[in-house]
Structure 1
């Protein structure tokens, strides 16, 4: 990532961004900028939309409840998509923990969040709009210019059927407590093999009750799935996600 301005406020916008073309803020954005941040005429900040890079803009209030943002110059170009991007497949959790999980996944560099219903999944109605809001907020705070997708939930059997049909082509890494005693770093290194390129990856984290015996059997029998352990302790699903994403990015991801 090129130089990042840690001091300026950042805001995600839906509109296209072009020099000197004013962008109207919606009601919530205007209230945040004018009444929460107390921005005034001529104050500067940064915006991005996931397509046109990052831009410095000037805030121009239009009364107490409206304002526009005028792009002055591009501060960072939109980066090219990473070839070995990482998808995050997860059994939905309760609201507060899923908010945390979505934010941390964005910070750890995932490009897609996909809820997966397993036999032991407790939360069957994840709030996707709230999850998308958490994704945007995390991107605003940590300097990411691309907004990860949040997809509709899918059942684990349907997900694996899609993979087996060759419609995705990613390699799935799933955290399996039965792999205890094996070295996750060495296992991950075998995915790269002798070359330097890494295939597109997906991390699968199960629910609080773990995968069922049938689910684990099917996962372990699939050629596109690699199980890894996460140490000698049982981790909560949200903790396991952060730990697994960290070692994947360090060994074969964009930290390597």
Structure 2
């Protein structure tokens, strides 16, 4: 006899949903997500959909009703609990839209706990559509089978970030003028951490002085080459995960 196909199949579409999931409590999907399931993925009644809610974990659900405007799903089985997330914040200066989208996407893939965008004097962009940015993180998490989403904060000025900085959280400052090698700094200051990365034009002298004067700040170097803002953010996250995060 042929083997019974695995359920849910690995090809099942994956979605993040807002309400907490529980077995037997049907979830109604509407709007763009319903269009995606019904028209793009061609989900039919009885088909599997993987759901995540950023709280209880990952669930296998079965489609019990598929309409033009709504899809009703029945969570059948919890497959995984919500994953543990390293206590790392990313504090990136705003960049041009496509470049900042890349930072949001890769921060989500790499597993940061929170993203706190900042506005500095040399930022080309000074505004962020937070709802659109949240959509970028959700889509990245869905594509990479994440069960957790980073907290996404509203942008604040660098001065506000430094003024309100929590005690006990190391602030690693990627300074293009140099600092302690990143990997050594991350290992020396283990625990709750954040990465502060500047915009296309870098930090100006007054900003750099204010950051270096902060008691929680640790200037770090990301090597001998000048990196663009998005490259510096991605490189710093990767080195932190390898040195102090869950890659170890």
Q: Quick check: TM above 0.5?
A: yes
1:1-256 alignment, distance < 5 Å: 7-80=11-84, 82=85, 84-163=86-165, 167-179=166-178, 183-191=181-189, 198-256=190-248
Helix, strand or coil for the counterpart of 2:140? helix
Q: CA deviation at 1:54?
A: 0.7
Please, what TM-score do these two structures have when normalized by structure 2? Answer: 0.91
Contact 1:34 1:61 in 2 (8 A): no
Residues of 1 paired with 2:129 and 2:10: CA distance? 30
Asked if structure 2 preserves the Cα contact closer than 8 Å seen for 1:162 and 1:168, the reply is no
Aligned residues: 240
Query: How far apart are 1:223 and its partner, in Å?
Result: 2.2
> How far 1:6 moved relative to its partner?
5.4
* Structure 1 unaligned blocks of 5 or more: 192-197
Q: Which moved more, 1:95-104 or 1:58-67?
A: 58-67
- Deviation (angstroms), 1:168: 4.9
Distance in 1 of aligned mates of 2:186 and 2:27: 45
Shift of 1:40: 0.9
- Would the aligned equivalents of 2:26 and 2:72 in 1 still touch at CA under 8 Å? yes
Cα RMSD over matched residues? 1.6
Residue segments in structure 2 that go unaligned for 5+ positions in a row: 1-8
Contact 2:30 2:69 in 1 (8 A): no
TM-score, normalised to structure 1's length?
0.89
Secondary structure, aligned partner of 1:187: helix
Deviation at 1:253, TM superposition (A): 1.3
